Amino acid sequence: MYLDNDRRPTLTPQLAVRVALIGGIALVAFAAIFFRLWYLQVLSGDRYLAEANDNRVREIKVQAPRGEIVDRNGRTLVDNRAGMAVELTPDGLPKTLPERRELYARLGELLAMRPKAIERDVEPELKALPYSSVTVKEDVDAPLVWYLLEHQDEFPGVEPERVFLREYPHRETGAHLFGTVGELNERQKNDPRYRDVELGDRIGQSGIELEYDRFLRGRNGASRVQVDALGNLNRRLKFRDPRQGSQLRLSVDLDVQEAGQEALQGGTGKGAFAVMDVNTGEVLGLGSEPSFDPNIFAKTVKKRDLDRVYSDDLGSPITNRAIQGGYPTGSTFKLVTATAALESGIITPDTPLVDTGSLTVGGIPFSNAGGVSHGVLALRQALTVSSDVFFYRLGLQANSTGDGLALQHWARRLGIGRSTGIDLPNELPGLLPTPKWRNRLFEAGDTDRPWSEGDNVNLSVGQGDLKADPMQMAVAYAAIANGGRVLRPRLGQRIEDASGRVVQQLEAPTARRLEISAENSQAIMDGLRGAASAPGGTSTPVFEGFPIDIAGKTGTAEKGLGRADQSWYVALAPYPDPKYVVAVTDEAGGFGAATAAPMARRILAALFGVDEDALVSGGASQD
């Protein structure tokens, strides 16, 4: 019997299936890896090579200068100036933090900055962008630049760099109009308007700078550099020049703007003015006092400067009173009341009303200034002498006629209590008081009484809760002068290239049309003309001897609580075919004829090229 020592285990069907399954899985896995490597190496190799190269190339932004802003005659209003900034270049800086701190100490002493402040601003940027220069201070003086260049060994990695800074050569003049610039902030970066803007870029933050930022903002350039895997600079590759923003031409006349600002400064220093073409809506001047120097926003803003421009104690210089003021308008509102009364059929131009010097409504006496009585008057005479009682009666009748809102209806149609739509940001609509508005406040416990007919009596002469600004009053007066077109004021005329060639014309929106009787408009214009020229006219003495015929209305608004009266004047010139409207107010100027009217005359003189000095010496002249 022989023993079989070479016996092997039998391959069962179950084992064969397992072997085949494992082998198949391994084959599929190796095939997948093979094809993936083939795809990466052969089919996508070029793309990944390009991406790898891109990972080694970085772009350093070179900010573009903004476009200039010029007046209607091409005179510079806002410009750029070249300045020097102190920057740190990462490849030249000491590698260790203690060494850099020693550098910050030396640099801080030279630049009058705290070393810790330099470190706090610089180090995070160096970590985030280790290949990009970091600005330490903008607009440094030339002697500091020369010192740094002469002592490079003491300041490794510190280099002066030429930069462009926004410049406002007229300083406080037109500051609210031109606006300010500042760095894009966290809140703004998600705004679709700034999708191509990076943090740190300067954009318009207020005024024209903000409204037309998309045109004024240029296209940044870039310096391409090659870095290693750690982000350290290897070499510079090429440079793309920045492109300056477009030039913006405004309808503003610099002479008129300067005259308006100087006129306001000659009053109490708190007020505003607006000058507009009554046919086109072009704004030739728009100003507010107190003002501020927008140059402080052209670079890093100091806290003390920011506190000053927002200080209520200093009159809130940042506030643009011309479109945000919100004041009672006094008797300048009588144009609105006259329009409402005539167009609603309450009176005709020749309807006589008796002015006894006082009118009692709800047991409360409403009197003329000084208690003077004017007797029997029609509209033209009432506007000439500014009879309060005449207009009190109109306000009383308007309150009880139809729906009781005839006065409010026409006031709103003329632009009171609503934004004018001027091409400036943050305009406020003001307030046109109505029964619904006051009754709602009363029901909420926010006022001590509901609406009464005395509220309409007050409104008829621009008193009470009314809040309006010079731009709104200019629009309302222009609508009467131009035949019923409620204009949308415009500042921007056109976009130009650097040589002044037109790139895009900025068309004004279509005006709203009101159906106002030519007879009624003429009666109102006659009354305004009498107020500026006829015996007894409230501003006749102010415009005596002025070579341009004026139609205009004074306004003196009582504000109560011991505060000085608000002074107003709105003028249309030349009469009888006005081209311009001038609206000016002084917050504490007293009688309209005493303060605001002389201001308006000064602005009109600049508008028409009248030499006021020659008039004073007896020889009137016009340029």
476 closest CA partner among 429, 416, 399:
416
Whether 140 contacts 160, CB under 8 Å? yes
Tell me which H or E stretch contains 569.
Answer: strand 566-573
Residue 140: which pLDDT band, with cuts at 50, 70 and 90? Answer: confident
What pLDDT does residue 507 have?
A: 86
Confidence check: pLDDT of 231 > 70: no
546 vs 107 pLDDT, higher one: 546
Confidence check: pLDDT of 349 > 70: yes
Distance of CA 44 to the CA centre of its chain: 52
At the topology level, CATH places domain 254-616 in Beta-lactamase (3.40.710)
How large is the average pLDDT for residues 157-175? 88
What pLDDT does residue 81 have?
A: 87
Residues 351-385: tens digit of each pLDDT = 999 999 999 998 999 999 888 999 999 999 999 99
Mean pLDDT is lowest, of 53-57, 270-274, 302-306, 369-373, for 53-57
Task: Provide the residue ranges of all domains of the chain, joining segments of one domain with +.
Answer: 59-250, 254-616
Q: What is the pTM of this model?
A: 0.83
DSSP string, 170-205: TTTTTHHHH--EEE--TTTTTSGGGTT--TT-EEE-
What pLDDT does residue 620 have?
A: 40
How large is the average pLDDT for residues 84-102? 83
59-250 domain in CATH 3.90.1310.10? yes
Confidence check: pLDDT of 31 > 80: no
Q: What are the tokens at 8?
A: 């092997």
Task: Quote the CA–CA distance of 93 and 91 in Å, as a whole number.
Answer: 6
Task: Quote the CA–CA distance of 297 and 166 in Å, as a whole number.
Answer: 9
Confidence check: pLDDT of 228 > 50: yes
What pLDDT does residue 619 have?
A: 42
564 vs 95 pLDDT, higher one: 564
- Please give the mean pLDDT across all residues of the chain: 87
As a whole-number percent, the residues of the chain with pLDDT over 70 amount to 87
Confidence check: pLDDT of 23 > 80: no
Cα separations (Å) of 473 from 304, 444, 584, 600? 35, 31, 9, 14
Mean pLDDT is lowest, of 37-46, 282-291, 373-382, 610-619, for 37-46
